[in-house]
Amino acid sequence: MSAIYTTDPATNERVTLSELARRHGIHVSTLSRRHAEGLRGQALINKIDFAAHLAAQNAKKTQEVERREWIMAASMAALSRPLRHIADAWKMVGGAQ
């Protein structure tokens, strides 16, 4: 596999991703993934704000839990209707009279 060259945003030198990783203390696989995603320049070497990343992950999990609870509540509300309502609805749409 051939080396991928990019520009080091700190020095404007053309270097390989391996060298860029060494210079900035970032794992080469992280740089490779970011480069494949189209990130270049400073965005390629930016450090992650772990607190913000963790907060975003927690918010996403909270939304998933709330959505799951809402779906369960909606399902239970529909299932808990008396059979009389179901029969009345059937008559309204032209069912047996």
Tell me, what's the pLDDT at 85? 63
The span from the CA of 37 to the CA of 15, in Å, is 19
Give pTM, 2 decimals.
0.53
Residue bearing the bigger pLDDT, 64 or 97: 64
Each residue of 6-53: pLDDT tens digit?
A: 999 999 999 999 999 999 999 999 999 999 999 999 999 998 888 998
CB 37 within 8 A of CB 69: no
pLDDT of residue 97: 52
Residue 14, beta-bridge partner list? 7
Pairing type for strands 14-16 and 5-7 reads antiparallel
